[in-house]
Amino acid sequence: MRRLHPFLITLLTASLAGCASTSTAPSASRATAFHVDVPSVAHPQGETPHWWYRNGAAKAAAHGAMQGKAKNVIVFLGDGMSLTTVAAARIFEGQRKGMPGEENLLSWEHFPHTAFSKTYNTDSQTPDSAGTMTAIASGVKSHMGAIGVAAGHKGECTPDGSKDLLSWLMLADSAGLATGIVTTARITHATPAATYAHVSHRDWENDTDLPPEATEAGCKDIAQQLLAAARFGHGPTVALGGGRGEFLPVDMRDPEEDDKVGQRLDGRNLVAEWQQAHPQGAYVTNTQQLQAAADAPQLLGLFEYDHMQFEHDRRKDAQGEPSLADLTRTAIRTLSRKPEGFVLLVEGARIDHANHYGNAYRALDETVAMSDAVQAAVEATSRDDTLILVTADHSHTLNFVGYPVRGNPILGKVRGQGGEDDTPGDLARDQNGQTFTTLTYANGPGYTGASNRQPAGPKHFLHAPSSVEPSEGRPDLSQVDTEHPDYLQEALVPLKSESHGGEDVGIWAIGPGSDAFRGTLEQNAIYHVIVQATPKLRARLCAAGTCDANGVPVELPRPVDFEKK
């Protein structure tokens, strides 16, 4: 008899449990929902941090999040993972398996609860990763570029902490839970940084990046704030990603890239400082070292000088980088030793970067890699005590177009019809008789006019032009391999870097409290579902006096109240 994969067994069990409780769960959730009064305000001028926090709390409480009994929380963040990226990646993965592809599902698409997330920043219809992750991590929407601070202006300095926001990572540390961060970007990049740092400008990753006036005013760079996060408890138990250059001084060579030195001008070696603070912990820079550190109580892994490599490009031997799934398994194994529970962020960061490069192959490949990581998390945890949610911070301009036949290669040229009324044939053609691909970008470096980097015609990875010439029509793709990993999909508007999109992104959830994810939510409500569905988190908030009579955390917490005394 053929054995079922453990992941399928887990999902089948979850589905049966869901079927068994279908008749009672919805009514029970409604019966135990709580009402929170939220004042009406003028938009956007009336949207204060306190209003955003209370508004998000009201939505989560009305959806029954307070009934959650999560011990552990894992948040998977696909940076830039638009719904189009998800749809194309599911087909991409299916076709790798020899299937037509459309019938395939990524791991999280089996989850029982889904919602949409509205992603705008307080000052921008189309958001960035800093403001969006701040909303997800702290329950308060903020400005474009803000990391862990309430809305204001990029570059302003508030060292008194008056704009600082409390993330669920800091809250969990203060409540005695283990905490972890996993990312394929620099660990000081916008998404991971929003869980432990407070800066009004996302680019302040090391002290060299701060303008003199900000330094003089007392602002701190993001890298040193990772170590300072221990003031809430112990700091992250696990921190795995890229970005060694942000932690090393300028007089120190990188251990793997001899032509590079650290970026810090303050003389601090933050890796050495972390090691001194965690004498039993392990600092690792490659797969072999990560495997050898399996029993270490704390882990700091900086696997690249800059961002980690794309999945397609990474070395897969012992001296190379671990996969996102490997990092996820390691983080869960280490964090699970804490009997009180844990909170973990896992970011598939390079989905976003590949989309910015206009390279659909790597964007889809990175999405599949995150699907593998989600599967690993489901297999390593229990649905009974672990809330797992998968979402994105924002979308991109990737388009899924034309009328290709079933099973047509998702990265290929459209084979079938060019329009609804066309007669199905071989390759579809535009009105000029040219073939075209299923996937395109609305803007970006795939624009086919000549640039200062590449000649007119199809572009290939990596292309970051500083000047372009107008395109004279579309190129002939008949002899172009559009399925090649380095092919850049055509872009309508020429930009050095493809832009984000402003439409909603998905939320998929499983585990205690996951049924609170339904409908269309403001992005900051994600935080409130997490804290309300995790008893230890909401108890810590109530102990600080932020809860109403029903025990719902409704008042904006001050980070200083959660620091060790």
Closest by Cα among 159, 167, 155 to 200: 155
Catalytic residue among 107, 129, 167, 514: 129
What's residue 22's pLDDT? 36
Which residues share a beta bridge with 348? Answer: 78
Provide the residue count of the chain.
Answer: 565
What's residue 420's pLDDT? 77
Question: Between helices 360-380 and 83-96, what is the axis angle to 10°?
Answer: 80
Q: Per the omega criterion (within 30 degrees of 0), is the bond before 455 cis?
A: no
Q: Per the omega criterion (within 30 degrees of 0), is the bond before 462 cis?
A: yes
What's residue 426's pLDDT? 87
Residue-by-residue pLDDT tens, the chain, 565 positions: 334 444 444 444 444 444 433 333 343 444 489 999 999 999 999 999 999 999 999 999 999 999 999 999 999 999 999 999 999 999 999 999 999 999 999 999 999 999 999 999 999 999 999 999 999 999 999 999 999 999 999 999 998 999 999 999 999 999 999 999 999 999 999 999 999 999 999 999 999 999 999 999 999 999 999 999 999 999 999 999 999 999 999 999 999 999 999 999 999 999 999 999 999 999 999 999 999 999 999 999 999 999 999 999 999 999 999 999 999 999 999 999 999 999 999 999 999 999 999 999 999 999 999 999 999 999 999 999 999 999 999 999 999 999 999 999 999 999 987 777 776 778 999 999 999 999 999 999 999 999 999 999 999 999 999 999 999 999 999 999 999 999 999 999 999 999 999 999 999 999 999 999 999 999 999 999 999 999 999 999 999 999 999 999 999 999 999 999 8
User: Tokens 């025990």 belong to which residue?
Assistant: 551
What's residue 32's pLDDT? 85
Beta carbons of 500 and 356 less than 8 angstroms apart? no
Closest by Cα among 504, 500, 480 to 490: 480
Question: Does residue 451 have an active-site annotation?
Answer: no
CA–CA dist 516, 243 (Å, integer): 36
CA–CA dist 15, 328 (Å, integer): 24
Task: Tell whether the torsion through CA atoms of 464, 468, 474 and 479 is positive or negative.
Answer: negative
Beta carbons of 487 and 439 less than 8 angstroms apart? no
Query: What is the longest distance spanned by two Cα atoms in the chain?
Result: 74
Terminal C-alpha separation, the chain: 59
CB-based contacts of 530: which residues, under 8 Å, 6+ apart? 73, 75, 168, 387, 389, 513, 537
CA–CA dist 458, 477 (Å, integer): 8
What's residue 21's pLDDT? 37
User: Tokens 């005695």 belong to which residue?
Assistant: 176
Tokens of residue 212, six digits: 């003199």
Task: Tell whether the torsion through CA atoms of 382, 383, 384 and 389 is positive or negative.
Answer: positive
What's residue 250's pLDDT? 98
What's residue 25's pLDDT? 39
What's residue 425's pLDDT? 73
Tokens of residue 223, six digits: 């890298």
What's residue 9's pLDDT? 44
What's residue 442's pLDDT? 98
What's residue 24's pLDDT? 34
CA–CA dist 199, 152 (Å, integer): 11
Q: Which DSSP string do the residues of 512-549 spell out, in sequence order?
A: TTGGG--SEEETTHHHHHHHHT-HHHHHHHHHTT-B-T
